[in-house]
């Protein structure tokens, strides 16, 4: 029993050291956007965000917004906004 406890503690320490036990939080945000005019824009921005590890919950060119979810230990809200701005959108 003692050996099993030691093994479990060792595995937890290794996972923590490797960064597998993230200390970040999952955050959701709605970002109002100007300049997204078509479905192709929705697709392009979705791909750009997902490539950075952001989950796109909803995105609408006609209504001008994106709802996203991301791990704050991996990316900040400001970084998410910068990705959209680099794609030619204005973030409000």
* DSSP codes, 25-68: -EEEEEEEEES--SHHHHHHHHHHHHHTT-EEEEEETTTTEEEE
Average of pLDDT values for 60-82? 97
Nearest to 86 by CA among 47, 29, 28: 47
pLDDT at 58: 98
Token pair in block for residue 90: 């204005």
Contact 33, 48 (CB under 8 A): no
Q: From the CA atom positions of the chain, what is the Rg in Å? A: 18
Q: What is the pLDDT of residues 3-44, one digit of tens each?
A: 766 666 667 666 666 555 556 799 999 999 999 999 999 999
Q: What is the predicted pLDDT for the residue at 24?
A: 78
Q: What is the mean pLDDT of residues 44-62?
A: 97
Q: How much is the pLDDT for 21?
A: 52
| Region 23-91: CATH code | 3.30.70.100
Q: Where are the domains of the chain?
A: 23-91
pLDDT number for residue 20: 55
């Amino acid at each position: 029993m003692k050996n099993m406890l030691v093994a479990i503690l060792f595995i937890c320490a290794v996972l923590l050291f490797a960064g597998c036990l993230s200390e970040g939080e999952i955050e959701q945000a709605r970002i109002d956007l100007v300049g997204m005019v078509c479905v192709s824009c929705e697709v392009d921005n979705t791909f750009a965000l997902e490539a950075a590890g952001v989950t796109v919950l909803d995105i609408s060119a006609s209504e001008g917004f994106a709802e996203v979810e991301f791990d704050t230990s991996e990316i900040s809200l400001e970084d998410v906004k910068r990705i959209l701005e680099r794609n030619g959108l204005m973030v409000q």
